[in-house]
Structure 1
């Protein structure tokens, strides 16, 4: 073990010993992403399945057939559109939940709901019910966005801004390790126990999340009290649509949304164009699968490396500016290269840089901002950005890719370059708004009314 490695390991142990909630948060995020990544391969298989009756309800298949359309030709477009519509329907439900019930009630309810529905999917897959693929595809997408949004909102209740800058890198690394474990479990177990039983494996991980959540609640209450407030255990009140209203009204949240929209656009354009390029260069299914697997492994490896070595240093010493701007500039350079040379290797490199920088730097940096704002901003506006706005951007850029790709890959990457510039402008304006926030105090009068 080198001296630098020993120093990092010693710092890691010190942070765990000095911050008891860190261990619970570590286990929480590890189990959350383990549970999600157990299910993700099933979702991808459903989205790409040639068994149309396994994916879509018979009534939908008959409707398309009656209009002389083959649903197979529109499978992904239908799934993405339905995902966005579900987000629109669920956002008011989530807003009502957080407005009417205290934290100790609605957080376990959110995860309890996901566990119950997983048991329902266990029955659906076990019985081979038609349309199970579409239902599961939509459910996993909603689960990923809502469950992770709730996690980071709750972390902003537990940790102060200074603690977040020091510890969020470790917490993010726990999630990355969960992202490693989940696919390994799926690959090892699916042929032995079947797809249906994978639902029970994921439900087990989510049950541990509820335990961690309940254990962390007392530190969230202590932080509220230290800041002169005790309202964390009371309902927030307000409108069920307050999340979207806040995003429209507050400059900081608007620029946060701008960053997310263009960040999603970059990922969507790159993902879709990558698929098109792979189809041209890799005609063998095994070769294309190996290509994608290599990318996933590289993304997770680079993410974990940055989280353990760089994220904490940047956030604690220099604040969030480098963590937001460095990835943005790197993506601009990457898309500039792709516009000049859209080759599979270059696409893979930019894909790794884009995803790893988002998971390891940009996402933790954005989440630290929520430690310094009102709870309604964290739980309502944050969830609105991560669900409705996120999926709206995803859907918009899916169709934009359809248009740009008709003129060739280079125009797609020029569009991606424009989106990267938009994300950089959003990051710069977000930093200006973040600088206006009051510095967090550990004692004294409350800083906000939330």
Structure 2
């Protein structure tokens, strides 16, 4: 009881001492709430065994004419399309960041996403063929770009010391949004239908725009105080500078390696989970509710860790344990799955894997970006969080398809090797970040 009171007292002090914390928490709450309203709908489409409900009619007919059952490759086709979309959009984002100041490109990103939601509302309401695949691809793009932009902006608003103190609380705000989002979907998908849920999500993104406007003065103040170049000026440089930075900088390269293998462990689990859903939750409504329940479990555990562990761990021990503890937990989880590949164990490891990523590894990595230059913060980070992320998705979704022919045990044994790669990448990040100012 005393520990809980102490944590609440520290939270009240943090709010009093850092006014932008209020707006940052509201921003992340609305962003993740809006996304998690959509995520169960997206996941139910990815787990659908009927390709006619996901893909355009012409693609289903083309696959049928060649003797290919598109339903056997739903996730593989969707992940491949998502990766292509990321590669095509990365230069567009790079040009936006290079040529326009922060006050322009941040609102533009969210206004485009809101406009897309209204477009999908029309698609779902009219029953256009292929809307499922289009929505799945767009949601994956939206999630990565919107969250990457959020954390890049937070690194403009908060310095390294404040990040260690506050990122756990900011993450908790997002986690509460991630808990509320699936609840909204569970309660409203029946009476409102899928199409109207998209408008609910658009409303949350509109609040994100307000938060960006309110946080902008603190970002300017922090840049003046630290002598950094102002984000109110266009960044300039090549639209592909992010790729060059990731290739040449040891820290960014280690972060990219960690991202690839981290995506790998998640993708292998995601595919096994999709196979279970196809067998036990055959209707879209049942599948949507199942995924919403998993999201609740993930975000409930994440919230507890963020409120009671993350801040203490980052301030007392730095980013090392925040990156390495989840890595070792994932490695242990895959070892257990290899020995006992039960459906309930798959769900438990999925919850532990995602909770460790969101509550410890993600805040740990994001504090590092407060100590790098703005080009690395916006351009290189966007490459890692979008193209590298989805490249890992694409690689491992096809790897899973091949290895699954050997059985579930072979999939999880492969996961052990991938988890070892993830652990090695995390250790590389811990070593490389020590060379930055304020290294720990």
TM-score bracket for this pair, using the shorter chain length: over 0.9
Q: 1:137 to 1:209 in 2, by over 3 A?
A: same
The aligned residue for residue 257 of structure 1 is 256
Task: Tell me how far apart the structure 2 counterparts of residues 105 and 216 of structure 1 sit (CA, whole Å).
Answer: 14
Does structure 2 retain, via aligned residues, the 8 Å contact 1:37–1:179?
Answer: yes
Task: Tell me how far apart the structure 1 counterparts of residues 287 and 26 of structure 2 sit (CA, whole Å).
Answer: 34
- Within a 5 Å distance, the mapping from 1:41-190 to structure 2 comes to 41-49=40-48, 52-190=51-189
The aligned residue for residue 236 of structure 1 is 235
Q: 1:50 to 1:397 in 2, by over 3 A?
A: closer
Task: Tell me how far apart the structure 2 counterparts of residues 93 and 358 of structure 1 sit (CA, whole Å).
Answer: 28
CA RMSD of aligned residues (A): 2.1
Task: Tell me how far apart the structure 2 counterparts of residues 263 and 297 of structure 1 sit (CA, whole Å).
Answer: 21
Higher mean displacement: 421-430 or 110-119: 421-430
Does structure 2 retain, via aligned residues, the 8 Å contact 1:247–1:254?
Answer: yes
- Within a 5 Å distance, the mapping from 1:420-439 to structure 2 comes to 420-439=419-438
The aligned residue for residue 21 of structure 2 is 22
SS class of match (1:232): coil
Task: Tell me how far apart the structure 2 counterparts of residues 277 and 196 of structure 1 sit (CA, whole Å).
Answer: 26
- Structure 1's unaligned 5+ residue stretches are 441-450
The Cα of 1:75 is off from its aligned counterpart by 2.2
Q: 1:37 to 1:88 in 2, by over 3 A?
A: same
The Cα of 1:183 is off from its aligned counterpart by 1.3
Q: 1:271 to 1:52 in 2, by over 3 A?
A: closer
Q: So what's the TM-score if we normalise by structure 2? A: 0.94
Does structure 2 retain, via aligned residues, the 8 Å contact 1:221–1:230?
Answer: no
Which whole-Å deviations, capped at 9, do the CAs of 1:106-146 have from their partners, x for residues lacking one?
Answer: 00000000011111111111222222111111111100010
Does structure 2 retain, via aligned residues, the 8 Å contact 1:299–1:356?
Answer: yes
The Cα of 1:299 is off from its aligned counterpart by 1.6
Does structure 1 retain, via aligned residues, the 8 Å contact 2:178–2:295?
Answer: no
The aligned residue for residue 404 of structure 1 is 403
Q: So what's the TM-score if we normalise by structure 1? A: 0.92
Task: Tell me how far apart the structure 2 counterparts of residues 195 and 51 of structure 1 sit (CA, whole Å).
Answer: 18
Does structure 1 retain, via aligned residues, the 8 Å contact 2:264–2:393?
Answer: yes
Higher mean displacement: 118-127 or 169-178: 118-127
Does structure 2 retain, via aligned residues, the 8 Å contact 1:115–1:206?
Answer: yes
**Number of positions where the alignment pairs a residue of Structure 1 with one of Structure 2:** 438
Does structure 1 retain, via aligned residues, the 8 Å contact 2:43–2:291?
Answer: no
The Cα of 1:276 is off from its aligned counterpart by 4.1
The Cα of 1:57 is off from its aligned counterpart by 2.2
- Structure 2's unaligned 5+ residue stretches are none
The aligned residue for residue 419 of structure 1 is 418
The aligned residue for residue 448 of structure 1 is none
The aligned residue for residue 380 of structure 2 is 381
Which whole-Å deviations, capped at 9, do the CAs of 1:350-371 have from their partners, x for residues lacking one?
Answer: 2222111001000000000000
Higher mean displacement: 137-146 or 416-425: 416-425
The aligned residue for residue 273 of structure 1 is 272
Task: Tell me how far apart the structure 1 counterparts of residues 277 and 60 of structure 2 sit (CA, whole Å).
Answer: 29
Task: Tell me how far apart the structure 1 counterparts of residues 399 and 54 of structure 2 sit (CA, whole Å).
Answer: 25
The Cα of 1:408 is off from its aligned counterpart by 2.2
